[in-house]
Amino acid sequence: MNSETKLSHKADSSFSLDDFAKALEKHDYQFQKGQVVHGKVFQLDPDGAYVDIGGKSSAFIPREEAALRNVTDLSEVLPLNEELEFLIIREQDAEGQVTLSRRQLEIKHIWERLAQMRENSQTVEVRVLNVNKGGVTVDLQGLRGFIPRSHLLERDNLESLKGQTLTVSFLEIDRNNKKLILSQRLATRSASFSTFELGQLVEGKISGIRPFGVFVDIDGVSALLHIKQITQKFIDNLEKVFQVGQSIKAVIIDLDEGKNRVAVSTRVLENFPGEVLENMTEVMASAEARAERARKKITE
């Protein structure tokens, strides 16, 4: 290698090292995508705002990232010289500038709140936006959610739900896939469960008849009146005793909200074996007084 080549090689080497050093100096590695930072807006622009987040160069927040709602006046949501939280959505460009968002930070906080609400079995209100074959889409604090048809109380005329506010529970929350599946039926069931207690007299309508017993709909909750809890006498055919849609009063003898199970009894209302079969009308008419007596036995 001659002296000229050596000098050339040395020059190239020293240039690239300097260049690398300058690049390192310009890039601020404390700012990463997904990080929440504090900063102050120092200049508003038609396209967004410039923010001092303590870096080597200013950060920028585009207008469309200023808030979850549509904003006409940026100063409403990005007041000058006031410390605010921002989410970094793009790391530094060639000029060392990072891109920020308040909108996505709001969305992040909403997902976290909803996950906590689900953890606590809380309900939430939503507004119905649109209807499709499978159910309805809803607005939940700015996020788009879905209620399957099977989880609505009104399943026949979905169009009538447009614009309505519904109380719902959470079925599935998946922030990564932006999936928010909700249930109106579960929310109703949960609200009803909170009013139930052992020994309580409840009234509902028979929704189904099976060989082992009948199902009773009580404020959206399906309770089982087992064949052995109907009367103290043997029954060979439940369809001879009950019909779907019939109103009935019964006493709660078992509750399990975790398994969504309620068991009721008319047997405990009888004054003698078989009274429910012989004189159902009389048993139902005096059910309140009879239930008071039964409650004492159940809760002792």
Mind listing the pLDDT tens digit of every residue in the chain (300 residues)? Answer: 554 444 444 444 455 666 555 555 555 557 888 899 999 999 999 999 999 998 777 899 999 999 988 888 999 999 999 999 999 999 888 887 899 999 999 999 999 999 999 888 888 999 999 999 899 999 998 899 999 999 998 888 899 999 999 999 999 999 888 899 999 988 887 777 778 888 999 999 999 999 999 999 887 788 999 999 999 999 989 998 999 999 999 999 998 866 678 999 999 999 999 999 999 999 999 999 899 888 877 766
Angle at 252 between CA 250 and CA 253, to 5 degrees: 120
Helix (H, G, I), strand (E, B) or coil at 27: coil
- Predicted confidence at residue 251, as pLDDT, reads 94
- Predicted confidence at residue 26, as pLDDT, reads 54
Q: What CATH number should be reported for the domain whose range is 36-106?
A: 2.40.50.140
Phi, psi of 113 (to 5 degrees): -65, -45
Q: Do domains 36-106 and 121-189 have the same CATH topology?
A: yes
Q: How many CB atoms lie within 10 A of CB 49?
A: 24
- Predicted confidence at residue 31, as pLDDT, reads 84
Every domain of the chain and the residues it spans: 36-106, 121-189, 196-299
CA dist 132 and 149 (Å) reads 9
48 within 8 A of 62, measured Cβ to Cβ = yes
- Predicted confidence at residue 180, as pLDDT, reads 95
Residue type, 225: L
CA dist 58 and 96 (Å) reads 8
* Fold of the domain built from segment(s) 121-189: OB fold (Dihydrolipoamide Acetyltransferase, E2P) (2.40.50)
- Predicted confidence at residue 16, as pLDDT, reads 62
CA dist 223 and 102 (Å) reads 48
- Predicted confidence at residue 129, as pLDDT, reads 95
- Predicted confidence at residue 8, as pLDDT, reads 45
Distance of CA 220 to the CA centre of its chain: 19
CA dist 257 and 278 (Å) reads 34
Please name the CATH architecture into which domain 196-299 falls: Beta Barrel (2.40)
pTM: 0.58
